[in-house]
Amino acid sequence: MIRRSAFIALLLAAASVHAQQSAPQQQEAGKPATQPPPEQQQPASPPVTPPSPATEAQPTQPVQAEPPAVPATPAPQVEIVDRVVGKGKEATLGSNVAVNYTGWLHKPLAPKQRGRKFDSSLDAGRTPIEFQLGAGRVIKGWEQGVAGMKVGGKRTLIIPSALAYGKRGAGGVIPPDADLIFDVELMDVK
């Protein structure tokens, strides 16, 4: 609506200027018209067509603005930092893997970005976790972060809450919407 009104006002102003410029020429209509030499001529401007009176007389309907397009939000991704690149067999979808890990709440301003530790397979009496990669037995962040590792490799995975436990959290240990950070080591691929 505003753009249309501004455009009409611009057209009317251009038509007014055009009319003022052509008025002296009409007064001298009795004289033969002469053209200046080509080097003094100004480039021709496109003709401006004023809006028809029928268009101006009609009340304009309010234009319903479309809701602004929401930019596509990129899918959350795991931030992967390789600490040691392994030299053994690679973990691929469908393979059974054994992984040692320690998990903390992610606190970006804390030393090493690690908040409170909530779990570790390295604690006394614990063993590496074993699971089939791609079977959905672990959080999505682990599926993405362990895939492509080679036996002997060590990674730090910074996992956004959407790829961890999301709004539900995990028991009383991981609060809702918590980002997590894990240090993982791929021990075996079968």
Q: Catalytic amino acids?
A: 101, 118-119, 139, 165, 182
By C-alpha distance, which of 129, 141, 137 is closest to 178?
141
* Residue 153 burial class via C-beta count within 10 angstroms: exposed 0-12, middle 13-18, buried 19 and up: buried
Q: Are strands 129-132 and 154-159 parallel, antiparallel or unpaired?
A: unpaired
- In angstroms, rounded to a whole number, what is the distance separating the alpha carbons of residues 93 and 96? 9
**Residue 154 host element (H or E):** strand 154-159
What does the block give as tokens for 4?
């249309």
CA 2 to the chain's CA centroid: 30
Task: Extract the tokens encoding 92.
Answer: 């691929």
Burial class of residue 91 (count of CB atoms within 10 Å of its CB; 0-12, 13-18, 19+): buried
